[in-house]
Amino acid sequence: MIKNKLMQWLSYTFMLITFITSSCSKPDIPQLSDMSFIPIPAEITSDEGFFIIGSGTSVLVINGNDEVVSTANFLADYINQATGFSVVVKPVDNRSGKGNIVVNIVNDESIHREGYELKVSSANITITATSAEGLFRASQTFRQMLPCSAERKEKATRFGLPACTIKDYPRFAYRGAMLDVSRHFFGVDVVKQFIDYLAEYKMNYLHLHLSDDQGWRIEIKSWPNLTAHGGKTQVGGGEGGFYTQEQFSEIVQYAKDRFITIVPEIDMPGHTNAALASYPELNENGIAPELYTGMEVGFSTLATRKEITYQFVDDVVREISRLIPGEYFHIGGDESHVTKKDDYIYFINRVQEIVASYRKKSIGWDEIATANMLPGNVAQFWASTENAQLAVNQGAKLILSPSSRIYLDMKYDSTTVLGLNWAGYIEVDKAYDWNPAQLIPGIDETHILGVEAPLWTETVETLDDIQYLIFPRILGVAEIGWSPEGLRNWETYQERLAKQAEKLKARNINFYKSPLVQWNCKE
């Protein structure tokens, strides 16, 4: 009897000790070298020690305005989603940061507006930045330090991070992607998802291709038939769709909260069949064509010598400009094969003036460099090096979207089912392994505003399709735009990309498992 009691007591004691030691024992601390950062930060140093994030950890904000505090919530959310904790953000006015994540907003001109320092030490984690934007970029780096299990939303309880110091800032001011919502329409939720993908890799512009031959996708109150008729179909004859101005504003705000600027594109004078079908007066012959659901390009043009055309452009630019805080309005200008050269130049010159009158700068595909570019306007290189040089000779900056490198609608190889191949096949290494400053003769870093990867959607119908074509190539584009050239090479990038696989899988992202990448994850 006594012996039994003793045995029982011993076993309870043993269970208690096991419980205490297991719940307080140090979690595995990952090695800094096992982590995969894309885009790779400018400077990473490994320090002594580690920090454990537990249920008592808070995010303390020093010197932060409301925007900083709400941005700090992203950081708390990443941790909470990963752990099931309820980490909170607290604005504080002192540095009582021990055991916490401290966000310190400083006035320091040596830190880039989007730059940050992220320091993990045994005492705490500090993020130093000059703005909410820098904090947001830092939060993405922090998110990439979380274990794969975090993305699987398994409640991982406490987890540790190795001590380190990361100093980071972007190479180019413009790091973007384009989504064509005209050839196939994508609703607000898909666009938000797309924005989340960009934010994660520190991209800061989303260009929305809002009109083309196959569909007009944004409500214009003064020209309602653009969407009532011109938004009714898409490639293949599906039902199409459009954003009301309220929905569009919701997208703009969602992007803004993630420090992404929306660049709206109204493609003109070509690529305008949907508008021409909606308003006969915009046509040279005054006759509206049928709606178009094919994939050919270059057959449509606005009537460039009719005044009504400029009233139309003015109304469209005015209504859209009011909805965007960003400085750029994209006027298209590509493949106007049925517009006479003189008419094209006359049109592009006038449209740039209209855009300027609403205090926006124009971006246009590289053909616009054949017109007179207004100061501050930007040419988007996609095909013609000659046009790119024309633009630079006029003092304009370039966004680089070389079709043979980063057109995300190009097939990976001959077996890819989705996509096109007019600019060649683009494997993951080809999309990554090029230097913007050495792409076009005579064009160097100082002429380049940044890079943008377009996703044209003639063959793309679902979020699953979008994922397959952008993942993983878009990660490479993000790194080209953000990271110092000296830190980039395919071999080490390939290893970092391989380590992202588990996280992509955990999030159910349908990505292309390129045979050039040794996919793995060390967890």
For 351, which DSSP code? H
Among residue numbers 272 through 301, which ones bind ligand TNX (CB under 6 A)? 297
List of residues 6+ apart from 288 with CB closer than 8 A = 276, 277, 278, 279, 280
Angle at the Cα of 427 from the Cα atoms of 198 and 512, rounded to 5 degrees: 60
Nearer to ligand TNX, 419 or 436 (CB): 419
Nearer to ligand TNX, 297 or 323 (CB): 297
Q: How many helices (H) and strands (E) does the chain have?
A: 17, 17
Amino acid (1-letter code) at residue 148: C
Among 335, 343, 452, 461, binds ligand TNX (CB under 6 A): 335
Q: Closest Cα partner for 182 from 219, 138, 217, 148?
A: 217
CB of 159 to ligand TNX, least distance (A): 43
Nearer to ligand TNX, 200 or 265 (CB): 265
CB of 129 to ligand TNX, least distance (A): 36
For 221, which DSSP code? T
For position 200 contacting ligand TNX by CB under 6 A, the verdict is: no
**Rounded CA separation 203/317 (Å):** 25
CB of 297 to ligand TNX, least distance (A): 5
User: Residue 481 has which token pair?
Assistant: 């735009």
Nearer to ligand TNX, 297 or 516 (CB): 297
**Rounded CA separation 122/388 (Å):** 51
Among residue numbers 202 through 231, which ones bind ligand TNX (CB under 6 A)? none
CB of 222 to ligand TNX, least distance (A): 26
CB of 203 to ligand TNX, least distance (A): 19
Nearer to ligand TNX, 30 or 402 (CB): 402
Among residue numbers 441 through 460, which ones bind ligand TNX (CB under 6 A)? 456, 458
> Are the CB atoms for 161 and 29 separated by under 8 Å?
yes
**Rounded CA separation 302/338 (Å):** 10
Among 117, 151, 168, 334, binds ligand TNX (CB under 6 A): 334
Amino acid (1-letter code) at residue 35: M
Q: 490-499 vs 473-482: helix axis angle to the nearest 10?
A: 120
> Are the CB atoms for 500 and 203 separated by under 8 Å?
no
> Are the CB atoms for 33 and 495 separated by under 8 Å?
no
Nearer to ligand TNX, 37 or 456 (CB): 456
Among 197, 365, 471, 511, binds ligand TNX (CB under 6 A): 365
**Rounded CA separation 96/427 (Å):** 50
Q: Which whole-number Å values give the CA distances from 147 to 112, 144, 479, in the listed order?
A: 28, 8, 21
The b-or-e profile of 360-376 (16+ CB within 10 A means b, else e) is: bbbbbbbbbbbbebeee
CB of 157 to ligand TNX, least distance (A): 47
Residue 246 falls in the annotated catalytic set? no
Nearer to ligand TNX, 322 or 341 (CB): 341
CB of 471 to ligand TNX, least distance (A): 18
> Are the CB atoms for 106 and 113 separated by under 8 Å?
no
Among residue numbers 40 through 69, which ones bind ligand TNX (CB under 6 A)? none
> Are the CB atoms for 468 and 496 separated by under 8 Å?
no
Tell me the per-residue interface mask from 388 to 427 with ligand TNX, x by CB under 6 A, - otherwise.
-------------------x-x----------x-------
Write down the catalytic residue from 335, 367, 458, 502. 335
Count of residues that bind ligand TNX according to CB under 6 A: 10
Nearer to ligand TNX, 164 or 363 (CB): 363
CB of 409 to ligand TNX, least distance (A): 5
CB of 421 to ligand TNX, least distance (A): 9
Q: Closest Cα partner for 483 from 114, 146, 128?
A: 114
For position 338 contacting ligand TNX by CB under 6 A, the verdict is: no
**Side-chain-facing half-sphere of 222: CA atoms under 13 Å:** 10
> Are the CB atoms for 215 and 491 separated by under 8 Å?
no
Nearer to ligand TNX, 168 or 335 (CB): 335
Where are the alpha helices (H) located in 25-131, listed in sequence order? 66-83
For position 382 contacting ligand TNX by CB under 6 A, the verdict is: yes
Give catalytic residue positions.
Answer: 335
Query: Which parts of this chain interact with ligand TNX (CB under 6 A)?
Result: 297, 334-335, 365, 382, 407, 409, 420, 456, 458
